[in-house]
Amino acid sequence: MRALLAGARRKERSLLDFTRNLVQAESPSDSKSAVDACVALAAAHMKQLGGRVKLHRQQHHGNVVEARFGPRASTRGDAKPILLLGHLDTVWPLGTLTSMPCRVRDGRLWGPGTLDMKAGVAMASTALELLMEADLLRREVILLLNSDEEIGSPVSRPITEHLARQCSAVYVLEPAQGLAYKTARKGTGDWHIVVKGIAAHAGVDFEKGANALRELARAIETVSGWTDLKHGLTVSVGVAAGGTKSNVVPAEAWAHVDVRIPRLADAARITRKFAALRPADPRCTLDVFGGINRPPMERSRGTVRLFRKAHLLARELGFELTEASTGGGSDGNFTAALGIPTLDGMGAVGEGAHARHESVLIEHLAPRTALLAAMLAPPA
């Protein structure tokens, strides 16, 4: 363990350099050419480390890179590979670097995508490097990096699920929650409510109108009332609009709703409720569509087992590792829902994911990279 920690400290500089290179390659999910360039950079790096690299080319989204390290896996029990899961896309548009430069200051690495999650990707490749140099990589490890996580993983999801099914465990390189690993995540859902009413002159023909905004307001009240904080279920109307002019009874209004569920069983229940929404004014129509797009990552027995192992290894490395749950989704939600033990938040420690102050705390990089390596190493 001490050797892994010392090795990780020695490699801190190159870990930071690789992170910076990835950050300099700006990679918003919606710019295929940009995100592909970042993927190509990562793929070249993995190849250089000796990885068996395969590019899953995509037509309308960024490519997905799969890199395999260590001996080729057998398909039996314990010898199954471990999947390291990450993404290279960010929420930041091209040009963000001009106002949010990538730089080291005050013990942090700042910049768009540093924490979420390019530092995590660099930590994973550094951990693999450490293990290969120490001849401790005795099982196959698959590093899978996608380009569409920030937009819900529409094309990478089947690739992730296919590979996860072949693996004994999934380690997700998303940022830590504070200092904690994540053992549970809520599932996420997304609904649209579109109301059609009847337009009319607000002064001349008021009673002929059917006010779509009023109907939408009622629907917003109804769905917001489904929030059950005690059980961690939330329904939040995030965007709404409607109408044209103040003197026109509005014929149209719509809302976009965010839903978070702690348990898989909540999915069917909330889906039924949305499907059963009816207008209070029979002259209005409601068009309701959407669904749960990421199942919850429940705190399963397999995940707890992985966390306990990490907790013990962290102690040997000299720090106390805690666990946390979060309302945010990741690709770990998909793999956990398949029943594959999944541990999340194994990437960098920092602040400000998706925010202007996005940054990584450099002091935590080496110990967490050593922990990641220890989680991939054979038991001592």
Question: Which residue ranges make up the site for Zn ion (CB under 5 A)?
Answer: 116-117, 174
Please give the backbone phi and psi of residue 245, each rounded to the nearest 5 degrees, phi first.
-130, 155
Nearer to Zn ion, 120 or 279 (CB): 120
| Min dist. Cβ of residue 99 to Zn ion (A) | 21
| Min dist. Cβ of residue 352 to Zn ion (A) | 13
Nearer to Zn ion, 63 or 90 (CB): 90
Nearer to Zn ion, 117 or 130 (CB): 117
Nearer to Zn ion, 117 or 193 (CB): 117
| Min dist. Cβ of residue 45 to Zn ion (A) | 19
Q: Report long-range pairs for 360-365 (Cβ below 8 Å, ≥24 apart).
A: 360/19, 360/108, 360/109, 360/114, 360/115, 360/119, 361/107, 361/108, 362/12, 362/16, 362/104, 362/107, 362/108, 362/109, 363/107, 364/176, 364/179, 365/8, 365/12, 365/15, 365/16, 365/119, 365/123
Nearest Cα neighbor of 331 from 375, 369, 293 is 293
Nearer to Zn ion, 36 or 149 (CB): 149
| Min dist. Cβ of residue 116 to Zn ion (A) | 4
Nearer to Zn ion, 129 or 174 (CB): 174
Nearest Cα neighbor of 152 from 22, 61, 255 is 61
| Min dist. Cβ of residue 367 to Zn ion (A) | 21
Question: How many CB atoms neighbour CB 60 within 10 A?
Answer: 8
The residue whose Cβ lies closest to Zn ion is 116
| Min dist. Cβ of residue 208 to Zn ion (A) | 51
Nearer to Zn ion, 117 or 251 (CB): 117
Query: How big is the chain, counted in residues?
Result: 380
Residue with tokens 């309302």: 327
Alpha carbon distances (Å) from 251 to 189, 194, 237, 258, 260:
27, 11, 20, 24, 30
Collapsing DSSP states into helix, strand and coil, what is residue 80? coil
| Min dist. Cβ of residue 151 to Zn ion (A) | 11
Tokens linked to 14: 């190159």
CA distance 202 to 186: 44
335 in Cβ contact with 166 (< 8 Å): no
